[in-house]
Amino acid sequence: MSALGDKQRKFARMAADLILHAYYLGYEVTLGDAYRDPRVFGMIGARKGYGSRNSNHKQRLAIDLNLFKDGEYLAGTEDHRELGEWWESQDSDAVWGGRFNDGNHYSLQHNGYK
């Protein structure tokens, strides 16, 4: 298997742990963007639609989570801090989007991209 394939499988397991940890902390989540199909968003390096040209969503290495507490949608980056900092503590490649004003973004770095 390729290094990217290994990392994609690792990310899938980590994303499941992230969702379970959110519930453990008393949050609920719905899923936002995960994989961004190149037919819709362009290949790595190309921008088509919204998002970064080099988004790790295109590599199956990122997910956006919509966070809720007591039925209320938490839209702010700071609302994700507790979960985001936990995510970053799980792996040296783990990146929380709150570091670049995209609080609901959770990814693994790959080839210099977040």
Instruction: Quote the number of domains for the chain.
Output: 1
Predicted TM-score (pTM) of the model is 0.87
How many Å apart are CA 33 and CA 35, to the nearest integer? 6
Q: Is residue 13 part of a domain?
A: yes
Q: Is residue 114 part of a domain?
A: no
Predicted local distance difference test score (pLDDT) of residue 35: 79
Q: Is residue 24 part of a domain?
A: yes
Q: What is the CATH number of the domain that holds 9?
A: 3.30.1380.10
pLDDT in tens, the chain (114 residues): 579 999 999 999 999 999 999 999 999 999 999 876 665 555 555 555 556 656 788 889 999 999 999 999 999 999 999 999 999 999 999 999 999 999 999 999 998 877
Q: Is residue 36 part of a domain?
A: yes
Q: Is residue 46 part of a domain?
A: yes
83: how many CB neighbours lie within 10 A of its CB? 24
Domain span including residue 72: 3-108
